[in-house]
Amino acid sequence: MRKIIGIGETILDILLTNNQPTVAIPGGSTFNAMVSLGRLKIPATFISETGDDKVGRLIRDFMKTNHLNTDHLDLNPDARSAVALAFLNAQNDAEYVFYKDHPRARFDANLPKVEADDIVLFGSYYALNPQLRPKLVDFLEKARDKGAIVYYDVNFRQSHSDEAVRLSTILIENYEFADIIRGSEDDFRHLYKMTDPEAIYRNKIRFYTPNFIFTAADKGVEVRGEHFAKHYEARSIEPVSTVAAGDNFNAGILFGLLRARVRRVDLPTLNERDWDAIINCGLDFAAEVCQSYDNYLSVEFAEKYAL
């Protein structure tokens, strides 16, 4: 059976409302998507590193509880697990402050076997970190050579805006690995000072892959494909927290690809009906997670939606 492999960082997210802690839950962009996929009982493997401490062991146990393979999670005795404070504003959007204490980014996790038409998810600053680059590139090259679908979530935060030019070569290399690129309005504002999806696609994305998903919060989603372009309206909800909306949108897209049995060779021929089904999964997942303080789909929602 096809599987989904995510690679990224793990963090303990502490959410604060009115500057008061509300909840502490394991997080990380790719991690959140993978937990939701695990709850959907999708064969899911997560590659990461965390500290060999109480937080790291909590994260490992949480992964096991949520049906995520932990064989490729490295607990580093020389590091403390990372923590993120997410300050929610009046609209329940989050501003982040990160605390990390990694004396060296060693990336000693064992890499899993990748097979044709598996799906690989990577992104965020983790995918741009020069210290992690050699092993990440090795993994992405193997995934591409085996014929996996590679999905890249740009997820470029404002705190790294001053590094955009310096990281541009690595960013382009990530584009070259990707079969599908997903980025938000904020990502491209921070990277290029651009927010028009058509201009971003035409000038920054299309040369590397024809498959582009642009998300703009409550303004909806723009999709561009080989011979396809469409706008999708966002779900109308009252959000409790938008912290993991994009992460679970990604989970929905990957779930939609699996449910529609889309192989890598099928990507150039996806039509409107195909994209409608795939994007609607992403919108459903994002809307669901925005209605709680959790970073992932509820178990009850996942049980109803599972394959």
Instruction: Yes or no: say if 49 and 73 are a contact pair by the CB < 8 Å rule.
Output: yes
SS (H, E, C) the chain: CCCEEEECCCEEEEEEECCEEEEEEEECHHHHHHHHHHHCCCCEEEEEEEECCHHHHHHHHHHHHCCEECCCEEEECCCEEEEEEEEECCCCCEEEEEEEECCCCCCCCCCCCCCCCCEEEEECHHHCCCCCHHHHHHHHHHHHHHCCEEEEECCCCHHHHHHCCCCHHHHHHHHHHCCEEEEEHHHHHHHHCCCCHHHHHHHHHCCCCCCEEEECHHHCEEEEECCEEEEECCCCCCCCCCCCHHHHHHHHHHHHHHHCCCCHHHHHHCCHHHHHHHHHHHHHHHHHHCCCCCCCCCHHHHHHHCC
pLDDT in tens, 110-141: 999 999 999 999 999 999 999 899 999 999 99
pLDDT of residue 92: 78
Q: Is the pLDDT of residue 244 over 70?
A: yes
Q: Which domain holds residue 188?
A: 4-305
- The burial class, CB within 10 Å (0-12 / 13-18 / 19+), for 128 is buried
With b for 16 or more beta-carbon neighbours within 10 A and e for fewer, the 177-208 pattern comes to bbbbbbbbbbbbebbeeeeebeebbeebbeeb
Q: Is the pLDDT of residue 107 over 80?
A: no
Instruction: Yes or no: say if 119 and 258 are a contact pair by the CB < 8 Å rule.
Output: yes
Split into its structural domains, the chain has a count of 1
pLDDT in tens, 50-101: 999 999 999 999 999 999 999 999 999 988 999 999 898 888 777 888 888 7
Q: CATH number, domain at 104? A: 3.40.1190.20
pLDDT of residue 164: 94
- C-alpha–C-alpha distance, residues 119 and 251, integer Å: 11
How would you classify the pairing of strands 73-76 and 221-225?
unpaired
- C-alpha–C-alpha distance, residues 268 and 228, integer Å: 10
Shortest CA distance to 268 belongs to which of 198, 209, 199, 222?
209
pLDDT in tens, 175-220: 999 999 999 999 999 999 999 999 999 999 999 999 999 999 999 9
Nearest-5° Cα angle at 298, 297 to 301? 90
pLDDT of residue 96: 84
**What average pLDDT does the chain have?**
94
Alpha carbon 178 to chain centroid distance?
13
- C-alpha–C-alpha distance, residues 221 and 233, integer Å: 7
Q: Is the pLDDT of residue 43 over 70?
A: yes
